[in-house]
Amino acid sequence: MAVTASRLLEDGAVCFVGIGLPSKAANLARATHAPNLVLIYEAGPIGAKPTVLPLSIGDGELAETADAVVSTPEIFRYWLQGGRIDVGFLGAAQIDRFANLNTTVIGPYEHPSVRLPGAGGAPEIAAHAKEVLIILPQSERTFVDRLDFVTTVGYLGGGDARARGGFPGRGPTAVVTDLGLLRPHPETKELVLVALHPGVTVEQAKAQTGWPLRVSESLRATADPEPREIAALRRLERPAPVPPSRGAP
Amino acid sequence: MAVTASRLLEDGAVCFVGIGLPSKAANLARATHAPNLVLIYEAGPIGAKPTVLPLSIGDGELAETADAVVSTPEIFRYWLQGGRIDVGFLGAAQIDRFANLNTTVIGPYEHPSVRLPGAGGAPEIAAHAKEVLIILPQSERTFVDRLDFVTTVGYLGGGDARARGGFPGRGPTAVVTDLGLLRPHPETKELVLVALHPGVTVEQAKAQTGWPLRVSESLRATADPEPREIAALRRLERPAPVPPSRGAP
Amino acid sequence: MPRAPTPIVPLAEAVERFVADGSRVALEGFTHLIPFAAGHEIIRQRKRDLTLVRMTPDLIYDQMIGTGCANALVFSWGGNPGVGSLHRLRDAVEHGWPTPLRLHEHSHAEMANAYVAGASGLPMAVLRSPAGADHAGKGARLGTVTCPFTGEVLAAVPAIRVDTTILHAQQADRRGNVQLWGISGVQKEAALCAEKVVVTVEEIVDRLEPKPGGVVLPSWVVTAVAAVPRGATPSYAQGYYERDNAFYEAWDEVARDRQGFVDWMEKHVLGTRDFAGYLRSVAGGEAAARG
Amino acid sequence: MPRAPTPIVPLAEAVERFVADGSRVALEGFTHLIPFAAGHEIIRQRKRDLTLVRMTPDLIYDQMIGTGCANALVFSWGGNPGVGSLHRLRDAVEHGWPTPLRLHEHSHAEMANAYVAGASGLPMAVLRSPAGADHAGKGARLGTVTCPFTGEVLAAVPAIRVDTTILHAQQADRRGNVQLWGISGVQKEAALCAEKVVVTVEEIVDRLEPKPGGVVLPSWVVTAVAAVPRGATPSYAQGYYERDNAFYEAWDEVARDRQGFVDWMEKHVLGTRDFAGYLRSVAGGEAAARG
């Protein structure tokens, strides 16, 4: 999943990354084919070059390796809203067929069965980045017919709904999952399965999607991870050289 | 003039100062009775402690002696508009009886006989500082019946006009000139002569004012400069220890 | 206006004097410099009915919410970064335990802009925020303004203003000037939108040396300073100590269960006199990790 | 999107390629780091019909206006700081010499906020600006917006956006990352509201060491870098050289008279090939101070 996502990032792009899978994929890209990828984290680091994956979005490693560290308001005002981000890279708990995202609640807002973390940077990243990549595991619980809450707008109801909404960025261009890769249809903006990971079947993908999944006529298989990608991932995931917790809970 | 003005500044006040006479008076106060006066200059220094008078508002001396240097937008947004300035200290080319100021043009705006520097920080300093001190030489050319241009609002047409305008600060509380000291009348807000420098007469002050000048019933004389004030001024005005111009025009 | 110098006081005194029951309080710090010591002291003094404001509630608000200090939360992302849920926050929202929690929920961009507006003396912030997302029930007021020059409709969000902001910084000098450096998040804005500002610091120094990325709060905007070494633990203080990632990961287990959480808080926070005591308690607790 | 690295070029090439006749250009620097070398090169290349944007026009715009580069000026305070008038600016406004100059005039607060809006991708800035002052004829558009939460009426000013911003900084690295430090005014906002950003620097270094108060512009927002030692003279570059206050004082005499100004510019700026030549010319001119 991280490997497929990392390949979508062009060298030299300016990428606004969330922690977790997006950060992992972006740093993998930087360690392999895209050494000039510019990583921006919402806490303030611009041009961060971590050598191990940060656990949190404000880890010291990010600040110490960055070209610049600015305030959080500046990140959102001058850099994101200012139109300087090429790629916004998001995760989510739920996605619908038009790549709208839910990270707020499962169940009704006032009485949720699961309270999720909330919006974070996602709504404005999805609005302003020139394009948006989304990465999340695919299942009937995550790929749903109807979101419990629309936290972040993808293509709204599809078609030209987003374009009419006056969003500066053009919206999600790819969704990477543990099963494969989906792209929005150029006209309808509905997500279409365009590639499957080795060993995954179309039936499996359809079964793990909460709406009738459309499949591209030119469906292809994603390439296996290359040795250098696997090696880079191992290096990124090695334990950070810090002492163990002094205050074990 | 600088001595009288400096005495109006209380120790510990946060003072937003323009270059020239305001800076001179404020630094004199800091060197004498108000060592904890906090000086803020619009270029960015907060808590500047220059040992010689700066020629310009962005001199290196100001930054190097400051507690903090922030951006110019931050000065105007967080520190001035944020309501953190006790005293705004302004000069002007023209003043009217309600302490409105002109620093824009002499003559009509489109065809001025003299083009002055313009607004600078004055309009918002006068709006937001808790009180405003004004320092300028007094003559029929500077104390005018009608401003050629209202750059900066004092008390507008007087009375409660300013209060009704929704200005956060309470407005000018003193005008210091080379002849004496004027204060706004508590009700009408018209400037009243309340003190004269030694050797200046009421007739002289009236003759050098472009409107029928009101004089306080308790008119007093300003105290002579004390020796420590004169000594402090001399120290501040000594030539800065920098080499002469390498590029004489 | 002849100002009193900023007092340097014990943390317990600062919390007692400057954090009132029912008030609106922000403890800021974006992952870095989170004021854990101050949060613990608020828990020890059993402050109640606070409206807690913070972009990323983090473990510190999980602890404060779980011990019943708060009845409202203003926030924009409420998870345990890189780990998962904040279980005490979830329990309060999902089941009203130990007490119901009203949410006022923003995006990061909205909240950062709202802090800027508060620091700038404006009633609102204007931003380009996406239309079409759900807002129903989130408790945060949103509005629009129309640009008088272009006719564009922009989003507006009310300014954040709070009664007390608490920060942790690396250093203060003896007059109460404060400097922090590294990732500085919204700390300056949080300080400048508050009536009262309390800062805990790693150490009091004779003179603040300007640092790259340094944010300085002059003493005259700081209400009180308290020296609390390691006061951001398990968050970190650049130049002093690293983030205790293992603690963040282990917290998931502690907070998952009400009784386990209560026991842990009783033992390590409520059962200790101050933050030094807390640090000794958890350091000794490696074997007895479950309390 | 695979970006070309930021070119490091001679200043003359940068001005030729990135400053177009008739375009909107900002040379910023609040007293500190004023890009005099770049301004001189614009004069040498006889650029015309520029709209010049700058909070404090200073001597550099006096020189550019006096040599006929500009037909419009966006500014907020146009004097020679601590000395008096900018005589060439005045002559252009009062008598249309050498060419008429349209003014778009703001207060500092309006203009600083307008730069922030430009950098933030907003069409306007909102501020509390005094009502009751004269605006007639000033050429700057002002409007109002109403806060949807409090009903307050606030001032609005259109965002500043420019074709090219030129800055002077202390250092760039070989990839074109730029760092400046000391008083940084509105330089970051000026860079981020521009289509193209040209930066002259004191020196190119292998690695930028983070400095207290440092403002970093990553190479991917910088269009071109040119090394011009002493390129801010007679302004200053903190850590490199002091402000030449004597030059500012002497300029008053030079600029007061049209012919004296023309002769001086011919001799020292138009008559030299580059800024190094200019520096040699004025250094040799101490005796022949009047040109």
**What is the rounded CA–CA span in Å between residue B37 and residue B47?**
8
Catalytic residue among A10, A42, A64, A124: A42
> What are the structure tokens assigned to C240, written together?
């002093």
Helices (H), C33-183: 36-44, 58-66, 87-95, 108-119
Provide the pairing of β-strand C79-80 with C84-85. Answer: antiparallel
Catalytic residue at A42?
Answer: yes
Q: Which amino acid is at C235?
A: S
**A233 or B246, which is more confident:** A233
Examine the pLDDT at B174 and tell me if it is beyond 60.
yes
- The rounded percent of chain D whose pLDDT value lies above 90 is 90
> Using 50, 70 and 90 to split pLDDT, how confident is the model at C287?
very low
Q: Which residues of A touch D174 (CB under 8 A)?
A: none
Dihedrals phi, psi of C203, to nearest 5 degrees: -160, 155
CB contact under 8 A, C2 and B38: no
Mean pLDDT of B192-197: 98
pLDDT of residue B244: 46
A3: closest CA of chain D, how far (Å): 20
**Residue-level pLDDT at A18:** 80
In this predicted structure, the answer to whether residue A247 has a pLDDT above a threshold of 80 is: no
State the CB neighbour count (10 A cutoff) for residue B156: 23
Q: What percent of chain C has pLDDT over 90?
A: 90
- Does the distance separating the beta carbons of B119 and D106 come in below 8 Å? yes
State pLDDT tens for residues C221-273. 999 999 999 999 999 999 999 999 999 999 999 999 999 999 999 999 999 99
Q: What is the mean pLDDT of chain A?
A: 92
User: pLDDT-based confidence at C101, cuts 50/70/90?
Assistant: very high
Q: Could you read off the pLDDT of D55-79 as tens digits, one per residue?
A: 999 999 999 999 999 999 999 999 9
Of A10, A47, A78, the CB nearest to D2: A10
Q: Per-residue pLDDT for B248 more than 70?
A: no
**Residue A20's pLDDT band (cuts 50, 70, 90):** confident
- Extract long-range pairs of C207-210: CB within 8 Å, 24+ residues apart: C207/C173, C208/C171, C208/C172, C208/C173, C208/C177, C208/C179, C210/C179, C210/D212, C210/D213
- Name chain C contacts of A81, Cβ cutoff 8 Å: 109, 127-128
Looking at residue D165, what is its pLDDT? 98
How much is the ipTM here?
Answer: 0.95
Smallest CA-to-CA distance from C65 within C253, C228, C265 is with C265
Chains B and A touch each other (3 or more Cβ pairs < 8 A): no
- pLDDT tens digits, residue range A146-164? 999 999 999 999 999 999 9
Considering only the beta carbons, identify the residue of D1, D119, D120 that sits closest to A13: D1
Per-residue model confidence (pLDDT) at position D141? 78
More confident residue, A86 or D133: A86
pLDDT at B171 over 80: yes
Average pLDDT on C152-179 reads 97
Chains in touch with D (≥3 Cβ pairs < 8 A) = A, B, C
pLDDT digits (tens, 9 = 90+) for A161-175: 999 988 999 999 999
Confidence of residue A51 (pLDDT cuts 50, 70, 90): confident
| Average pLDDT over every residue of C132-140 | 80
Asked if the Cβ–Cβ distance from C109 to A81 is below 8 Å, we say: yes
Nearest to A112 among C94, C107, C109 (CB): C94
Amino acid C82: pLDDT: 86
Measured CA to CA, the distance from residue A99 to residue A155 in angstroms comes to 6
Return the amino acid letter for C205: V
Give dist(CA C55, CA C121) in Å, integer: 20
The DSSP line for B148-212 is SS--B-SSTTSTTHHHHTT-SS--EEEEE-SSEEEEE-TTT--EEEEEE-TT--HHHHHHT-SS-
Asked if A152 and C135 count as a contact pair (C-beta separation under 8 A), the reply is no
Which pLDDT score, from 0 to 100, does residue D139 have? Answer: 78
pTM of the model: 0.96
Question: What's the pLDDT score for residue A221?
Answer: 96
**pLDDT tens, residue by residue, D79-127:** 999 899 999 999 999 999 999 999 999 999 999 999 999 999 999 999 9
* Cβ pairs bridging A and C (under 8 Å): 211
Neighbours of chain B (3+ CB pairs under 8 A): C, D
Beta bridge partners of D86: none
Alpha helix positions (H), C19-129: 36-44, 58-66, 87-95, 108-119
DSSP-assigned states of every residue in chain D = --PPPPPB--HHHHHHHH--TT-EEEE--SSBS--HHHHHHHHHTT--SEEEE-SS-HHHHHHHHHTT-EEEEEES--EETTTEE-HHHHHHHHH--SS--EEEE--HHHHHHHHHHHHTT-SEEEE---SSS--TT-----EEEE-TTT--EEEEEEPP-EEEEEEEEEEEETT--EEE-S--TTHHHHHHTEEEEEEEEEEEESSPPP-BT-EEE-GGG-SEEEE-TTTTTTSBBTTTB---HHHHHHHHHHHHSHHHHHHHHIIIIITSSSHHHHHHHHHTTSTTTT-
Which chain D residue has its CA at the smallest distance from A63's CA?
Answer: D210
Token representation of residue A49: 């070059």
Whether the per-residue pLDDT at D43 is higher than 60: the answer is: yes
Asked whether residue B89 carries a pLDDT value surpassing 60, the answer given is yes
Q: What is the mean pLDDT of residues A15-31?
A: 90
Answer for the pair C5, C32: CB distance below 8 angstroms, yes or no: no
pLDDT the model gives residue C129: 87
Q: How many CB pairs under 8 A join C and D?
A: 67
- Cβ of A57 within 8 Å of Cβ of C81? The answer is yes
pLDDT the model gives residue C286: 52
Q: Which two tokens mark C216?
A: 């300085």
Residue B246, pLDDT > 60, answer no
**Is D145 close to C147, i.e. CB distance below 8 A?**
yes
pLDDT at D290: 40
Peptide bond into D148 cis (omega under 30): no
pLDDT digits (tens, 9 = 90+) for D216-236: 999 999 999 999 999 999 999
Range of lowest pLDDT (D129-138, D156-165, D180-189): D129-138
pLDDT in tens, D237-275: 999 999 999 999 999 999 999 999 999 999 999 999 999
Spell out the residues 6+ positions from residue C134 whose beta carbon is closer than 8 angstroms to its own.
A104, A109, A149, A150, A151
DSSP class of C220: G
**List of residues 6+ apart from B230 with CB closer than 8 A:** none
Residue C288 pLDDT: 40
pLDDT, tens digit, 9 for 90 and up, residues B198-242:
999 999 999 999 999 999 999 999 999 999 999 999 988 876 544
Residue B64: predicted pLDDT? 84
Give A89's strand partners.
Answer: A17, A133
pLDDT on residue D237: 97
* 3-class secondary-structure state, position C149: coil
Q: Cis peptide leading into A123, omega within 30 of 0? A: no
A103-119 pLDDT tens trace: 999 999 999 999 999 99
What is the pLDDT, as a whole number, of residue B50?
87
Indicate yes or no: CB of B67 within 8 angstroms of CB of C216: yes
Q: Do C127 and D124 touch (CB under 8 A)?
A: no
In this predicted structure, what is the pLDDT of residue C289?
44
How close is the nearest chain D Cα to the Cα of C85, in Å? 33
What tokens does C243 get? 């983030």
pLDDT for A58? 63
| A222 vs A64, more confident | A222
pLDDT at D21 over 60: yes
Q: Check whether A57 has a pLDDT greater than 70.
A: no
Which residues are paired to D152 by β-bridges?
none
Q: From chain D, pick out residues whose CB is under 8 angstroms from the CB of A11.
A: 2
pLDDT band for position B148 (cuts 50, 70, 90): very high
Contact C218 B38 (CB under 8 A): yes
Chosen from D162, D175, D177, D192 to mutate, greatest number of chain A CBs within 10 A: D192
CB B4 within 8 A of CB B181: yes
Q: Residue A182: enclosing H or E segment and its boundaries? A: strand A180-184
A 10 A CB-CB count for C22 gives 11
Region of poorest pLDDT, from A37-46, A200-209, C269-278:
A37-46
Separation in Å, CA of B218 to nearest CA in chain C: 27
For B64-126, give the DSSP string: HT-SEE--HHHIIIIIITTT--SEEEE--SEE-TT--EE-SEES-SSS-SEE----TTHHHHH
Tell me the pLDDT tens digit for each residue of C193-209: 999 999 999 999 999 99
Task: Please give the mean pLDDT across all residues of chain D.
Answer: 94
- Least CB–CB distance from B10: residue in C1, C188, C189: C1
Region D180-202: mean pLDDT is: 98
- Give the C-alpha separation, D21 to D24, whole Å: 9
What is the spatial distance between Cα B228 and Cα C167, in angstroms, rounded to a whole number?
42
